Chains A and B, each alone.
Chain A
């Protein structure tokens, strides 16, 4: 059976957000190629072509370092994220690569039990087909919610 590209890419996004929402952070870098870029940057800077991010990994090793730091070094209240994604648009595709954008919304539930919108924004992704399936070569998380509540620990 030939699975349409759109379904393949939605499956990638769904698997990606499930890894984060299920607190399987160790799986998170595996969605990327070794030399992938992962960046979280406010829309405010993106719109002005200013480069300052809140988080930027130039490769998967830096992502694994981020996970190790979150697991063993940094102190924060354990977040409970739920990602909602919609509006996936494939902007370019060659069969081996695709450029796409997807809206996301992340709600977080505090330990005390209140749920609030933590972040809204857009994924700007470049994906490549590998032997292990589609992977992100670039995932730029451009967030609208410019005020980060308290801190950002887990990836988006």
Chain B
């Protein structure tokens, strides 16, 4: 991967050509300075970042390493069952403390000098604190209470665990907002079971992926699986929604109410006379689990989460920014604890549709990398996001870039970037 050209302009001088989110200067994707500023204004700013699922750490002492932006953190369940998270950095000399991806321990000890911390991040033990025989220890004014780990605010919404460095950000439920909560509620409507995760690494900017999940326009054009195999998708109704900031959004694609799940399945396997067809179309089977017969529910909760229901696959995708031109995507698969064995097997089979090798998703990181390569050295140029721009109230359509525009206006304001023109 070629390094992108350094951007010499002052990042605060970045200007969006328009105030409606329809022109995005490429510097926001290929500038290391913008990336550094995002760490401060977004990830350490007034946001809640998705850390993982409560179902990953069900027992007291369970922990999992995670990230808030580029900062490594550990999310834990303490002895009393409470959730906690702290920066994975010893308060003594800065060494990484937790060295396993997952595990169970009610005490976390730094290997360097064996300072030990509780699951909530409180300092519990300092070797030789009171010295030994005639050798002195820590000074009299050293108080363990002053030297805990850097703790994050932690809250859970329906089993989704979020952390924040901000003391001022609204409580999590308010941050998610009244427009977005019903969509989360429909998926997280009963206890879930964690089924494992898969990871994908992309040499592109993390926001290119957020754009992608807010962009239904590309769906039938980049992902050719359905059209190639003549899988008909008539009678689909799309709904798009954002929160007040535009940073979160939801896309719901629903089959018409008069069709039941069986009808959907029958339609799925209808093919034209010529062309390709699947020999085994069971990968596209679907059982109706919600009030609406929804084939796709794609819901980014800014900045690190995308909730996904595609047919019967359920995933919480975590976006982890690694550099201005690198991000990792972690797909946390889950089912419901009351799944029948048949339904559980179906969810596992449908993992073929999504993730790094997914029939209808593998192209997404390919596309974001094509953009990253294409814009190298051209921070001043801007993308064009005009589809249905003159019809901002048209939300029941896939042929729109409305969610993308709303996102960029929210991002621009959060980052404090100027817009050149008032529309």
Chain A residues with a Cβ under 8 A of chain B: 40, 42, 44-45, 48, 50-59, 61-62, 64-65, 68-69, 72-77, 146-153
- Complexed CA–CA distance, A153 and B202 (Å): 15
- Complexed CA–CA distance, A69 and B283 (Å): 13
Decide: A52 and B351 in contact? CB cutoff 8 A: yes
Residues of B within 8 A of A52 (CB): 195-198, 331, 333, 348, 351
User: Whose C-beta in chain B lies nearest to the C-beta of A59?
Assistant: B280
Decide yes or no: A150 and B357 within 8 Å by CB, A45-B197, A50-B196, A73-B225 being known contacts: no
Residues of B within 8 A of A149 (CB): 201
Q: Out of B198, B349, B362, which one reaches A42, CB within 8 Å?
A: B198
Residues of B within 8 A of A65 (CB): 278-280, 283
B59 within 8 A of A: no
Residues of B within 8 A of A45 (CB): 196-198
Decide: A151 and B362 in contact? CB cutoff 8 A: yes
Decide: B351 and A53 in contact? CB cutoff 8 A: yes
| Sample of 12 A–B contacts (CB below 8 Å) | A45-B196, A52-B195, A52-B351, A53-B198, A62-B352, A69-B228, A73-B228, A147-B200, A150-B201, A150-B202, A151-B356, A151-B362
Decide: B195 and A51 in contact? CB cutoff 8 A: yes
Interface-centre pick from B101, B331, B352, B357 (highest chain A CB count, 10 A): B357
The smallest C-beta distance from A86 to any residue of chain B, in angstroms, reads 25
B36 within 8 A of A: no
Residues of A within 8 A of B359 (CB): 69, 73-74
Decide: A42 and B199 in contact? CB cutoff 8 A: yes
Decide yes or no: A148 and B198 within 8 Å by CB, A61-B279, A73-B228 being known contacts: yes
Interface-centre pick from A42, A54, A68 (highest chain B CB count, 10 A): A54
- Complexed CA–CA distance, A68 and B194 (Å): 32
Residues of A within 8 A of B348 (CB): 51-53, 56
For chains A and B in complex, what number of residue pairs have CB atoms within 8 angstroms? Answer: 119
Query: Apart from A57-B352, A75-B363, A150-B201, what are 15 other A-B pairs with CB-CB below 8 Å?
Result: A42-B198, A44-B196, A50-B194, A52-B198, A55-B352, A56-B348, A58-B280, A65-B278, A68-B229, A69-B228, A73-B224, A146-B198, A147-B201, A148-B199, A150-B202
The smallest C-beta distance from A73 to any residue of chain B, in angstroms, reads 4
- Complexed CA–CA distance, A62 and B351 (Å): 13
- Complexed CA–CA distance, A135 and B354 (Å): 29
Chain B residues with a Cβ under 8 A of chain A: 101-102, 194-203, 222, 224-225, 227-229, 276, 278-280, 282-283, 328, 331, 333, 348-349, 351-352, 355-357, 359, 362-363, 365-366, 369
Closest 7 pairs (CB-CB, A-B): A50-B196, A52-B196, A45-B196, A73-B228, A61-B279, A52-B333, A148-B356
Decide yes or no: A150 and B276 within 8 Å by CB, A53-B348, A69-B359, A73-B224 being known contacts: no
- Complexed CA–CA distance, A51 and B348 (Å): 7
Residues of A within 8 A of B355 (CB): 54
Decide yes or no: A147 and B228 within 8 Å by CB, A50-B194, A55-B357, A65-B280 being known contacts: no
User: Whose C-beta in chain A lies nearest to the C-beta of B201?
Assistant: A147
Q: How would you classify the secondary structure of chain B's contact residues: helix, strand, loop or mixed?
A: mixed
The smallest C-beta distance from A59 to any residue of chain B, in angstroms, reads 6
Residues of B within 8 A of A40 (CB): 357
Residues of A within 8 A of B203 (CB): 150
Decide yes or no: A147 and B199 within 8 Å by CB, A50-B194, A73-B229, A77-B366 being known contacts: yes
Residues of B within 8 A of A153 (CB): 357, 362
Decide yes or no: A48 and B352 within 8 Å by CB, A55-B357, A73-B224 being known contacts: no
Decide: A152 and B229 in contact? CB cutoff 8 A: no
Decide: B349 and A56 in contact? CB cutoff 8 A: yes
The smallest C-beta distance from A40 to any residue of chain B, in angstroms, reads 7
User: Whose C-beta in chain A lies nearest to the C-beta of B225?
Assistant: A73
Decide: B276 and A68 in contact? CB cutoff 8 A: yes
The smallest C-beta distance from A30 to any residue of chain B, in angstroms, reads 14
Q: Out of B194, B200, B280, which one reaches A151, CB within 8 Å?
A: B200
- Complexed CA–CA distance, A152 and B352 (Å): 11
Residues of B within 8 A of A42 (CB): 196-199
Q: Out of A50, A62, A69, A72, which one reaches B195, CB within 8 Å?
A: A50
Decide: B199 and A150 in contact? CB cutoff 8 A: no
Decide: B280 and A75 in contact? CB cutoff 8 A: no
User: Whose C-beta in chain A lies nearest to the C-beta of B367?
Assistant: A75
- Complexed CA–CA distance, A153 and B359 (Å): 9
Interface-centre pick from A40, A57, A150 (highest chain B CB count, 10 A): A150
User: Whose C-beta in chain A lies nearest to the C-beta of B333?
Assistant: A52
The smallest C-beta distance from B233 to any residue of chain A, in angstroms, reads 15
- Complexed CA–CA distance, A146 and B143 (Å): 42
Decide yes or no: A54 and B356 within 8 Å by CB, A75-B363, A150-B203 being known contacts: yes
Decide yes or no: A75 and B196 within 8 Å by CB, A150-B365, A151-B365 being known contacts: no
Q: Out of A69, A74, A148, which one reaches B200, CB within 8 Å?
A: A148
Residues of A within 8 A of B283 (CB): 62, 65
- Complexed CA–CA distance, A54 and B197 (Å): 9
The smallest C-beta distance from B104 to any residue of chain A, in angstroms, reads 12
Residues of A within 8 A of B200 (CB): 147-148, 150-151
Decide: B201 and A148 in contact? CB cutoff 8 A: yes
Residues of B within 8 A of A77 (CB): 366
Residues of B within 8 A of A74 (CB): 224-225, 359, 362-363
Residues of A within 8 A of B349 (CB): 56, 58
